[in-house]
Amino acid sequence: MLKSIALKEWLKTRWFLLLINVIMLGSSGFLMLRMHRAMDIKGADHIWQVMLLRDAIIVDSLATLPMLLGVVLALVQLMPEMHRKCLKLTLHLPCSRLKTTSAMLFYGVITLTISFALCLGLMHVALRPVIAPEMVRHVLLTTLPWFVAGLTAYLLAAWICIEPTWKRRVLNLALTAMLLRVFFLSDTPESYNGFLPALTAMGLLTCSLVWLSVLRFIDGHQD
């Protein structure tokens, strides 16, 4: 049954997942190429100097990209379910509704995680030969909260999407904006290091909000 759910989610999202990977790998690849080119022109020592003295992390233009992709993945995955209340079909399957909903969200979280991991892997591979391991670690740790924001944005967008009433959707949207703001409070690299495990746990726990929307859908709430 879980295989069937995965098939359904795959059919909805396969082209968008390809696009996510192209965008993530394309934009991080572009930043890596730009850095390598700058090193060719100005020398590696100049880039090291900029990174150490100005606390630059080269890839800061990626900051909001995972969050945006998380939101769009939730829309691509769940809008077809909400179109003409197709979700009724999914929840009518002879399978626990909690399990069905969790499987759908798990699919989204896993596919996003794979995309983000590929992006981190590409950055690691591209940075490792040209800058010190400590600086690679510094760049990757700084980007981690952005990826966690992407996963959290996916779950919160799913919460908004499945919510059956517009009034509550607006409220959910406001709460989502506030929660996601937490991920972008500081521009200082690695400022989230100590807080990241708690932030990740909070982000993943937002999946329980999606279940609240499902329960409201089952109860027949409407505007």
Positions that interact with other proteins (CB under 8 A):
1, 3-4, 7-8, 11-12, 80, 83-86, 88-89, 91-97, 217-220, 222
Place of tokens 């003295």: 53
In whole angstroms, the minimum distance from the beta carbon of 11 to other proteins comes to: 6
User: For the range 147-150, what are the long-range contacts, defined as Cβ-Cβ under 8 Å and sequence gap of 24 or more?
Assistant: 147/66, 147/116, 147/119, 147/120, 148/183, 148/196, 148/199, 148/200, 148/203, 149/66, 149/67, 149/70, 149/180, 149/183, 149/184, 149/203, 150/65, 150/66, 150/67, 150/69, 150/70, 150/112, 150/116
Place of tokens 């995309």: 115
For residues 91 and 202, give the distance between their C-alpha atoms in angstroms, rounded to a whole number. Answer: 26
In whole angstroms, the minimum distance from the beta carbon of 66 to other proteins comes to: 25
In whole angstroms, the minimum distance from the beta carbon of 161 to other proteins comes to: 16
Q: Are 30 and 113 in contact (CB under 8 A)?
A: no
In whole angstroms, the minimum distance from the beta carbon of 222 to other proteins comes to: 8
In whole angstroms, the minimum distance from the beta carbon of 190 to other proteins comes to: 42
Place of tokens 């999914």: 90
Q: Which is nearer to other proteins, 20 or 136 (CB)?
A: 20
Q: Which is nearer to other proteins, 94 or 129 (CB)?
A: 94
In whole angstroms, the minimum distance from the beta carbon of 173 to other proteins comes to: 24
Q: Which is nearer to other proteins, 27 or 90 (CB)?
A: 90
Element (H, E) at 146: helix 133-162
For residues 197 and 141, give the distance between their C-alpha atoms in angstroms, rounded to a whole number. Answer: 12
Q: Which is nearer to other proteins, 100 or 206 (CB)?
A: 100
Place of tokens 């807080």: 195
Tokens of 64: 């909001």
Q: Which is nearer to other proteins, 89 or 177 (CB)?
A: 89
Q: Which is nearer to other proteins, 7 or 18 (CB)?
A: 7
